[in-house]
Chains A and B, each alone.
Chain A
């Protein structure tokens, strides 16, 4: 039986191999028709860093071939910032002093109406770790309400049981996003100071529970900045490809959340610079050519405009990471993280069109639920 720690261990020799990669290895990896951990390690190596332009060209060609000249758009909707978790890096952690609010049904309707008026059809609902105020029933009921207005609704919330996931899907949820955060057991224990999320195995097994409950899509990722990015990337790659073999009727997606400044002044132990983030995205695109790669508004406008279509095929836009941020102009809470690309929707769409990329709002249909 695999767990997060075993992927972390299995990734270690590949991480070491990355350090010894030669130019020839990178070329072989770029030419490989069936890339695995060896090729991913080569593409994440320091040698490959000097070939970033070549990686970018290959990544763009693969993205265009599979996803065309399009970028799918989604928008996050924060339901609640109540949180029982002690994640050292998160603005919602229960020791952060800030007002705690959750949306009631009327407020959810107001948020949904505001987003629908903007044209969104793909909405990601978010909460903190489970609390009595925002528990699995609350998430399920919120999904059911929001699903009346949008063709695609997914959630990013706490790790749930298989039955709870099944209830979400029955309520109209299309998919789940749940990041492992880190595959390094020591870092995981250090970062998750208290609460249910401290149980690394329960979190690691959550994707399999959601998939067994028949999730149509499943979003994975690591929180970049917590541990060695190459070893994290290799662990994530092996985890995803193993899940794909068992749960083969699901669309897997990958996100690249990078730790940014937020309430509490947490400093990332392994800060990731822009070229490293770009290299990660290019390497994953080349090794997993059909997996949608997602980038949020945590990143700057310049980085997002540059990377759109070069690997990334799906982006959030006009995001508010505060609870009630779309229908209230003076949100009462701090966001989960600070948004970097704050451009309104029309400006962002114009930027995509400037690059001959089509913003796609609707790429799903309620009849597929």
Chain B
């Protein structure tokens, strides 16, 4: 079965797996994992851009991978102003129209700030970015971000790096049902089966970093995620069978309607 492409702004992506690039033991493993994942949209924190020192730089080597588009992120920003500044600089440095708005004032749990995220997204949309906001799984905020012109919304499954999976599943389902733009689950996914579950639920894509980088074999795990995302999407496209509600009553409740 062919998998429908993912449309973000003006761009079409065959892959529905997006990957992050922090936490790897070196560039060689990171690049191999990105290749194995088949990801075409890859996020890098501006604070890890280091063009002066190639062996410390994440962005340069990724930009040279064929078929990969960089999506810089604003990790480290506490406010909309900072995020906007980071986004402008990142676009200048790598030329990508995509920006992952990531504003988490508390650096310990990295929970996204809805107020600052909304403000930054609004400015960056006006500045012509394809804005991809990382957000709590809040259906109202998702609609607000859609209304101002974001290219997607990226609600969390659970806390970044926690590996707690799709704790927000109920909220994600509401966001997916209501949304006219792609919903990408970002953060919390630990297993390929969770990535598949997000796709079956109707999410347009998933973004994975820690689950790949912190695996014993990151390259093999990247491959496993690629397969799971494809399987989940294929299942969604194939149409899942309806879930049974339970046993049917032996004495039908509507029996009285048939009594003459």
Contacts and interface: CB of A to CB of B under 8 A. Distances in A.
Interface of A: 64-70, 119, 121, 151, 216-217, 244, 248-252, 290-291, 353, 356-365, 367-368
Contacts of B49: 362, 365
A119 B53 CA distance: 7
Contacts of A217: 107
A67 B48 contact: no
Contact of A70 (B23, B47, B53, B163): B23
Given A68-B24, A252-B108, A360 B56 contact: yes
Interface string B69-91: 00000001110001001100100
A360 B30 CA distance: 14
A360 B48 CA distance: 9
B122 to A, nearest CB: 20
A290 B159 CA distance: 12
A369 to B, nearest CB: 9
Q: Label chain A's interface by main secondary structure.
A: loop
Given A250-B107, A365-B89, 13 more contacts: A64-B23, A68-B24, A70-B22, A70-B25, A119-B53, A290-B107, A356-B26, A358-B26, A361-B56, A367-B46, A367-B89, A368-B76, A368-B82
A353 B26 contact: yes
Give the interface size bracket for B toward A.
Answer: 20 to 34
Contacts of B105: 248-249
Contacts of B163: 65
B44 to A, nearest CB: 12
Contacts of A252: 108
11 contacts: A64-B23, A64-B214, A65-B214, A68-B210, A121-B50, A244-B108, A248-B106, A249-B105, A358-B26, A360-B48, A368-B77
Given A65-B210, A68-B23, A368-B47, A361 B76 contact: no
B53 A365 contact: no
B60 interface: no
A367 B85 contact: yes
A291 B108 contact: yes
B180 interface: no
A359 B53 CA distance: 12
Contact of A66 (B24, B47, B48, B161): B161
A357 B25 contact: yes
**Most chain-B CB neighbours within 10 Å: which of A121, A244, A363?**
A363
A363 B214 CA distance: 19
Interface in B222-252: none
A364 B47 contact: yes
A249 B47 CA distance: 18
Contacts of A360: 48, 56
Across the A-B interface, give the 3 residue pairs with the lowest CB-CB distance, nearest first: A68-B23, A69-B25, A251-B107
B22 A249 contact: no
Contacts of A365: 46-47, 49, 76, 86, 89
